[in-house]
Structure 1
Amino acid sequence: MSWLDQVKGSLGGESASGFLERLIPGGLQAVLDQLQNSGLGQQARSWLGKGPNEPITVEDLRTALSNEQVRAVATKLGVPIDQALEILAGRLPGAVDEASPDGELRTPPPEKPAA
């Protein structure tokens, strides 16, 4: 099973934004704040606004995110750090866009307890 299949399987019926919110320590808002503080605010704002989402590179994320965050994502996904960064670079713009339909990041509802 590929890592992409693992990620899709982990989602169940959950949105990509909800999944990344749980996956990334501090959630999407923490990532947006770190991108802003790292000089990558233009990309982050493009994901919140209407119009095309600007891409972000693995190197941009490596610079903006803490080692702890990246290690946590890699561990949760069961992939090497470089692959975790590739996944984030590919999924983060769309996930933030999905979580901000009105231009404001919406916090997903809390998880339902397991039955």
Structure 2
Amino acid sequence: MSPLAGPALRWPARSEAGMGILDGLMKAAGGGAGPLDAITQMLGAHDDGLNGLLKSFEAEGLGAVAQSWVSKGANLPVSAEQIQAVLSNSTVAAFAQKLGVDPQTAAGHLAQLLPQVVDHLTPNGEVPTGALGALEGLLDKFK
């Protein structure tokens, strides 16, 4: 069974006291570093990292959705179909392979996790320099 299978994933709101980004992401992902590693690699594969990913959403007409993840307000949802439209089939397939699930399931997991990851990488409402490095720093704690 996939580490992401089971009930819908939920990311804690920024205001939930006592739960840091690492705790929340690991709880949402089932405790393993696999999804974090796969998302980090996916972000690293985009030209310009997180900014490149956000530009990909904008190019597909989903700029307002992606910007909501960066802003301080509520995150707008994204569907598995929209994830597949924004990301290449090979990107979704690579993510799926890392998690041991089919591409459609992987797109669904990305639709749940990616807004939350971007949200927590941009706590001040803007993309910081080295946002990908912050995520990689989380992974270093598991090596």
Alignment match of 1:22 (pick from 16, 40, 54)? 40
Q: In the alignment, does 2:25 pair up with 1:3?
A: no
Under a length normalisation based on structure 2, what TM-score does the superposition of the two structures give?
0.65
Equivalent residue for 1:92?
A: 114
Uncovered stretches (5+) of structure 1, i.e. residues with no partner:
none
5 Å-filtered alignment, 1:16-95, equals: 19=37, 21-24=39-42, 25-26=45-46, 27-95=49-117
How many angstroms apart in 2 are the aligned matches of 1:29 and 1:76?
23
Return the letter of the residue paired with 1:22.
Answer: T
Shift in Å at residue 33 of structure 1? Answer: 1.7
Distance in 2 of aligned mates of 1:43 and 1:51: 11
Whether the 8 Å CA contact 2:2–2:101 is kept in 1: the answer is no
Identical-residue share of aligned pairs (%):
36
Over residues 46-101 of structure 1, what are the superposed CA-to-partner deviations in whole Å (9 max), with x where a residue is unaligned?
01001110000111111111011111100111110011001000111111100001
Q: Distance in 2 between matches of 1:41 and 1:61?
A: 13
**Residues in 2 aligned to 1:84 and 1:35: alpha-carbon distance in whole angstroms:** 18
Further displaced range: 76-85 or 102-111:
102-111
